[in-house]
Chain A
Amino acid sequence: MSTKETEWMQAAQKGDEDAFANLVEMYEVPVYNLCYRMLDNPQAAEDAAQETFWRAFQAIKRYDPERSFITWLLSIAAHYCIDQHRRRRLPTFALDLLPEESVPFITPGIESIVIRGEEDSRLHKLLDLLKPEDRAILILRYWYEFSEIEISQTLSLSVSAVKSRLHRARRCLAEQYRTAQPQAVLEEVAS
């Protein structure tokens, strides 16, 4: 954590709303991305990310600075998204709801937007096959490159549970990949 971040953190723990807003700006992308990959829908992801920061703001006084702040934030976000999955059946991903921007920032043509949208849609269909906890584990592993220990701390699971769930998720995705892909993509992978 940089000096500035530490200063913002300390100020936020004393109730400084502006300092916390700086932290929101700093961590909005990883939190939003996790919510988006968990919930498939930009509006649901926006709501979940906003709720995550609100919950973090309320609990900031109890935050232990020894712990990684991003792990703490992602833990709140992941638990909230898992809870959302349990509570309701989420609307399916639609192309017209594509997010406005993505990293790395490029200005794609319509064709590449559609291709990316289709790829995103296929990926989300695959992720939809997983249980919410398994999905969160897979996202933290491959989008955030978290170790099994970090995932276990983020999701309050044992390391052995993370290992077995990760294996189950990978196996499920590999098995379902063939049925979810158009022939052209399969030929490209095989070559």
Chain B
Amino acid sequence: MVLLKEAHGRSDADLAEQCRDGDDAAFDELVHRHKDRVYRVVYRFLGNHDDARDVAQEAFVRAYHNMRSYSGQASMATWLLTIASNLARNRLRDQHRKGRDKGVSLEALAETAPGVPPDGVIVHDTPRSAAEFRELEENLEKCLAALPDTHRLVFALRVFDGLCYEEIAECADCAEGTVKSRLNQARRRLGECLRARGVI
């Protein structure tokens, strides 16, 4: 605990350097700082909590073992999100190959009793009734799940994490121009989908 407290206030680059010297408390602090944003993006991309947990954990395991390769040129968050994005894309590709569709998990999520969020989800305090809120969330999730993987990834990185186009390009391993066009298409398709469902 004492070590963790000491780690507060240090930059990610300092913590990475300390990790390289074998300081595990520094790595704990990095996990503490970045776990939520990594998890959030992966969850929105994959659409279910089990896979999101596996992938986010694996991302940190990889980061731990490869801390020496972190050059500090990109931010720690971008580096972690790049690892997580790659793992998440691989996970989806494997699932597609095995014939397991991510929609199944989303449907399972939709069956969750209203007002009882799955592990890791915090429901906003909202004047809407729980059922209305749940229905809206389901529609948003289903439309998001209907996007091509490549489009959903850039959308998740932009909207749920706020990365700039340059950072998204690094995470998604594509050009900035591609990020721009994928985001535009993603937003258009989401609009069409939500209109078809009567949400907007």
A and B assemble together: no
